[in-house]
Chain A
Amino acid sequence: MTRYVLRRIIYMILVFLIVSLLMYSIYNLIPTDPARAQLEPIKKSLKPAEYEARYAQLREEMGLDSPLIVRYARWMGFAPKVNGEFDGLLEGNFGYSQFFKKDVAEVIPDPMKNTIFINIFSTIVALAITIPLGIFCAVHKRGKFDSSVQVLTIIGYSIPIYIIGLIFIWFFAVTLRWLPVSGMETPGNNFTGMRAFWDRMLYMTLPVIVMTVGSLGGMTRYVRAAMIESLSMDYIRTARAKGLREKVVIYSHAWRNALLPVITVIIGWFLSIFSGSVIIENMFGLNGMGQLYYKGLMNNDYELALAIQMFYIVISLVGQLLTDLSYGLVDPRVRVDK
C-alpha cells in the first residue's frame, strides 16, 4: 500500500510538472515585456542610447532572454534566478498581482475563506437532501414519486446553473424580496457580533441554495443508481430470505454497500470546496476564489490567474489521488495496489 501511494504521488508530481510547463508556455504566449513596462515611466528622462542600455540591462536582470525551460525552472523555483536566489512557486512566491498591487499570496486568503465557507454549507445541505432522496427513490423504484424525481433530476442537471440562479434571484430576491440580490453584506453597515453574522448569513443564503439545487440532480441520480445496483445483489435476496426486516435490509445491507461508490465521489467533491464556482460567485458578487480568478483574467492580471490555475490543478490532482485511495480504504475487497 505504501509503495502504491508513493508511486501515485510521484506520478502526481510528474503530471503536475507537465501541466504546469504547459500552462507556463501558454502564459508566455501573452505579448508582454515587463522590462519595457518598468522603464516606461522614466523613458523621457533618458537619452535613447542610455534607454537602450538600461533596457538591455533590465532584460538581463529579469532573465527575459533565457530559454523558456530555464524561465520555467526559475518560476517554479528549481533553478536560481539571475541574482542567484531560489524564489519560485516552491518557495512560496506565487507572483505579483498587477490588479491588486499586492503579492498573490496576500490576495488569496480572504477569498479562499469565503469560498470554503459557502461550499461547506452547500455540500452538507446537498448531501443531506440527496442521500435520503436517492435511497427512497431506489427502494420505491418506478413508483410515481421516483418517476417524477427522475424527470426533475434530468431537468436539474440539464439547466445551466446560471439560469437556475436567475430563476431563484427572480423569485426570492426580486418578487418576494426576502433575500438580497447579490453582495456579501449590507453596503455601508457597521454591524458587530451576532448582527454581522446574521447579515452575512442572509447574503449567503441564496448562493448556497442555488449551489445546492445545482448539484442535486447529478448526485441524486448517482445515489439512486448505486443503491439500485446494491439492492439487486444476491446478498439482499439472502437477507430477505432469512426474514430480516425490510428496514434492516435497506439500511444495513444495501446502503452500506451502496455507500462505497458514493463516498469516493464525496471525497472528490470535498476538495472542490476550495476551488469555488466561477459562475455562482460572479453571479452573486461573492468575493471568492472563482471570482478572483475571473477578475484576474478579465483585468489581464495573468500572474494571479496562473497562480490560481496552478492551485486548481493541484486540487484536482490531490482529489484524484484521494478518490483512488479511498476505494481501497472504504472497500477492503478492492486492492488498489494490484
Chain B
Amino acid sequence: MKDKKKSKFSFLRRLFGNRNKVMSFMEEEQLQSPGRMIVKNFTHNKLGMTGLIVFLCIFLFVMIGPYFFPLDLSYQDNTQTNVPPGMNFLSVPKELEGNIVDITPGTTFAVGVGKDGKIHVWGHTKITDKIDLANIPEEVKAANIVSIAAGYDHIVAMDDKGAIYIWGNRRLGQDSLPDELAMAATYGKDLHIKQIEASYQFSAALTEEGKLYLWGNKNMADLKVKKEYQGHIQKVALTTYSYVSLLDDGSVVYSGFEKDNSLVNIPEALSSGVVDIAGASNAVAAVKEDGTVIVWGNCDKGENKVPYFESKPVELYGGRYHFTALMDDGEVISWGDNTHGQASVPDSVNSEEIETVFAGFYQNYAVTKSGEVKAWGLKGYLCGTDNLGRDVLNRIVNGGKVTMTVGAISVIISLVIGILLGGLAGYFGGWVDMIIMRISEVVGGLPFIPFAMILSAIIGTRISVEQRMYLIMVVLGVLSWPGICHLIRAQILSQREQEYVTAAKSMGVRERSIIFRHIIPNVMSLILVDATLEFATCMLTESTLSYLGFGIAPPTPTWGNLLTGANNSIVIQQFWWRWVFPAAIFGICTICINLVGDALRDAVDPKSAER
C-alpha cells in the first residue's frame, strides 16, 4: 500500500519535496560514459558484431587448435601426398560385414575380400590422376579371390586356383611376375601359394613348400633370396625396401643380399622359437614362443617401445610405424607412432572377442567372432593433405597462430613507436615535430612490399628460421608506424585546446603527464580503431611476404606460405583443397577484422558513419 501511494505522489514530490534518493551525476543527467556509449553503439551494429563473433571463433580456433593438432615441423610422408578431403579410410563397405576373408590396408585405401570371393576397395583410391585402384580389372571380378595384398600403389590378389592378379601402378615392374609364377599361371598349375605380400613397388609370394618369389622394382628394394633359405621359409615380413624371413626351424633370417641396412643384424634371441613376424616401414617385430616381442631395425618413431603384456602375444601385425599384437586371450595391443591414433586401440575392441586383426600403414581392422569389423587409425583428412603429405587442417591451425602472432606483435611495435613519436611531435612541436614528421613521411612513402622484401632477403639469409620470424615482425612494425604517429600528433594538437587539458595545466600538471596520462587515454578509442585496422593490414602484408617467399619460411606454416606454389592450374584444379581452405579462412578472418574496425570507428565517432 505504502509503495503505491508513494508512486502516486512521486511526481508531486519530485516537484516540491526533497529527494531522499541520491542519484549520481551520470544517472541524473542521463549521461553515458564515452566507453559505454562506444560499446552500446558497437553492439547495435549487426555487421560489426557478426564480424567480431566470427573473428573470435577463428581466433580461438587457431589459438586452442594447436594443442589438439600439435605441429611437427619435420613431419612429411610420401605415402599421404595430395589426399583430398574425406574421412572414409576406415569405412568398410556393408557387403563385407560378417563375411570377411582378408583385409589389407594400403596407404590411403584398403582392400577387402568377402567369402564370396568379391573384392571391395574403399578410402582414397584415385592415387594418381590416371590410376584408380577402385577400377578392379574384369578378370579379377570374375575370379574367386581368396587372398589379397596392398602395396603403396598397387594391389596383388590371388584366386582359389593360385593365379595372381596385379593392378594399380605397373610402371616400375610391379606386375613383372617371376617366370615360374608366370608359367604356372599360363598352364594353370597350382603352386600352392600360402602368403602374398606387397610393399613399396614390390611384392612377394610364398608357397607351401617354403619357396619365396619376389618381384617388382629391383632398384629400390632387395629382391633376391639366398639359395640356402629357399624351401625353408615359413613366413615373410616386408618393410618398405627389404624383407625378413621366418624359417621352418623357428629362426629369423635376413635372406636378402644387402649387407648394410638396419635389418641385417638380427638379434641373437631370434635364432630359435619364433612364432610370428611382422614388418613395419623400417622395422620388423618378432614374437617368440614365451611371448617376448623383439623389434629391430630403424625405430625412430617408437616402434621398439613394446609395452608390458599381461598375456602372451600370438600374432603380430605391422603398420607403417606401429605394431599391433593379438594376445592369446583375445586382447589387442598396439604400440609405436600414434600420430593418427593408429596405436590407440579403442575400448570397444577389447570388450569383444577378437578373431583376427588386419593392420597396415595407419589403419587397423579387428574382426570379432561374430564377424563385426572394428576399425581404428587414420580415418582420413578433413581438409586433405599437401604435396608433402602434411595435413592441411593441421597447417591451417598452426599457420593461423603464427600469422596472428606476427600480426599482433607487429601492431604492438608500430603502436609503441607511433604513440611515442606522435606524442613527442605533438608535445615538443617546432623542429622536433618537423623532423619526426619528415621521417614519418619518408617511411610512409616507401614502397612497403619491395622494401620489406629487400630487408628480409639481405638480413634474412644469415639468421635462423626463428630469428627470421622476429625480423619480419620488426620490419612490419617499423615500417607501419607513420599512420598511428600522424593520428596521435593530430589528436594531441586538437585535444590540447580542450577544457580538461586547460584544467590540468592550470592545476600544474606537468606537460609530459598531460600528454601520456590525460590526452592519450582520451584518444585510446581512436587508437584502438587504428590498431584493429592495422592488425588486418599487418596480417595481409605478412602473408603476402610469406607467399612470395620473403616472409616466414616453410616448414613453419603461415596463412601466406600455405598458398605458395598454388598458382598453377594443376594445383588450382586437381588439388583444390590445398588453396581453397587456407584462402577461405584467411579471407574470412581479415574481412571480419576490417568489419570490426569499421564498426568500431562508427561507434567511436558516429559522425564518421555519415561519410
Contact = CB atoms under 8 A, between A and B. Distances in A.
A305 B441 contact: no
A293 B452 CA distance: 12
A83 B354 CA distance: 89
A232 B610 contact: yes
A128 interface: no
Contact of B572 (A166, A279, A298, A317): A166
B447 A163 contact: no
Nearest to A177: B569
A166 B450 contact: no
Contacts of B445: 316-317, 319-320
Contact of B458 (A30, A157, A161): A30
B548 interface: yes
A221 B583 CA distance: 24
B563 A305 contact: no
A181 B544 contact: no
A309 interface: yes
A85 B451 CA distance: 31
A257 to B, nearest CB: 14
Interface in B419-454: 438, 441-442, 445-447, 449-451, 453-454
B566 interface: yes
A158 interface: yes
Given A159-B587, A160-B544, A320-B445, A166 B567 contact: yes
A283 B446 CA distance: 23
Interface stretch (A68-76, A114-122, A167-175): A167-175
Interface string A280-317: 00110000000001100110001001101100110111
B559 to A, nearest CB: 9
Nearest to B595: A154
Given A155-B591, A166-B567, A278-B548, A316 B453 contact: no
A278 B563 contact: no
Interface in B540-589: 540, 543-544, 547-550, 560, 563, 566-569, 572-573, 576, 579, 583, 586-587
A107 interface: no
A155 B587 CA distance: 8
A18 B442 CA distance: 10
Contact of A154 (B447, B455, B594): B594
A241 interface: no
Nearest to B47: A151
A326 interface: no
A282 B565 CA distance: 11
Contact of B548 (A169, A182, A282, A319): A282
A158 B420 CA distance: 28
Q: Which of B462, B590, B593 has the most CB of A within 10 A?
A: B590
A133 interface: no
A298 B573 CA distance: 27
B453 A162 contact: no
A229 interface: yes
Given A166-B583, A229-B611, A275 B447 contact: yes
B536 interface: yes
A297 B454 contact: yes
A225 interface: yes
Interface residues of A, number: 55
B569 A181 contact: yes
A100 interface: no
Secondary structure call for the A interface:
helix
A18 B445 CA distance: 14
A182 B611 contact: no
B457 interface: yes
B457 A297 contact: yes
Interface string B379-419: 00000000000000000000000000000000000000000
Contacts of A26: 454-455, 458-459
A255 B458 CA distance: 47
Contacts of B454: 23, 26, 297, 305-306, 309
A163 B583 contact: yes
A312 B450 CA distance: 8
A15 interface: yes
A29 B593 CA distance: 38
B598 interface: yes
Given A232-B610, A279-B547, A297-B454, A166 B563 contact: yes
A90 interface: no
A158 B587 contact: yes
Given A160-B586, A225-B611, A278-B453, A294 B569 contact: no
A29 B567 contact: no
Nearest to A173: B569
B547 A162 contact: yes
Nearest to A30: B458
A27 interface: yes
Contacts of B540: 158, 160
A173 B570 CA distance: 11
Given A154-B595, A159-B587, A320-B441, A170 B573 contact: yes
Nearest to A180: B569
A134 interface: no
A30 B458 CA distance: 6
B609 to A, nearest CB: 9
Interface string A6-29: 000001000100110001001101
B594 A158 contact: yes
Contacts of A204: none
A228 interface: yes
Contact of A181 (B447, B568, B583): B568
7 contacts: A158-B540, A159-B591, A163-B586, A275-B447, A283-B567, A305-B454, A309-B454
Given A158-B590, A275-B447, 20 more contacts: A15-B442, A26-B458, A26-B459, A29-B458, A151-B47, A154-B595, A155-B587, A158-B594, A160-B543, A160-B544, A160-B586, A174-B569, A278-B450, A294-B453, A305-B454, A308-B450, A309-B451, A312-B446, A312-B450, A313-B446
Interface of A: 11, 15, 18-19, 23, 26-27, 29-31, 151, 154-155, 157-163, 165-167, 169-170, 173-175, 181-182, 225, 228-229, 232, 275, 278-279, 282-283, 293-294, 297-298, 302, 305-306, 308-309, 312-313, 315-317, 319-320
Nearest 10 Cβ contacts at the A-B interface? A158-B590, A158-B591, A297-B457, A163-B583, A312-B447, A159-B587, A158-B594, A316-B445, A174-B573, A181-B569
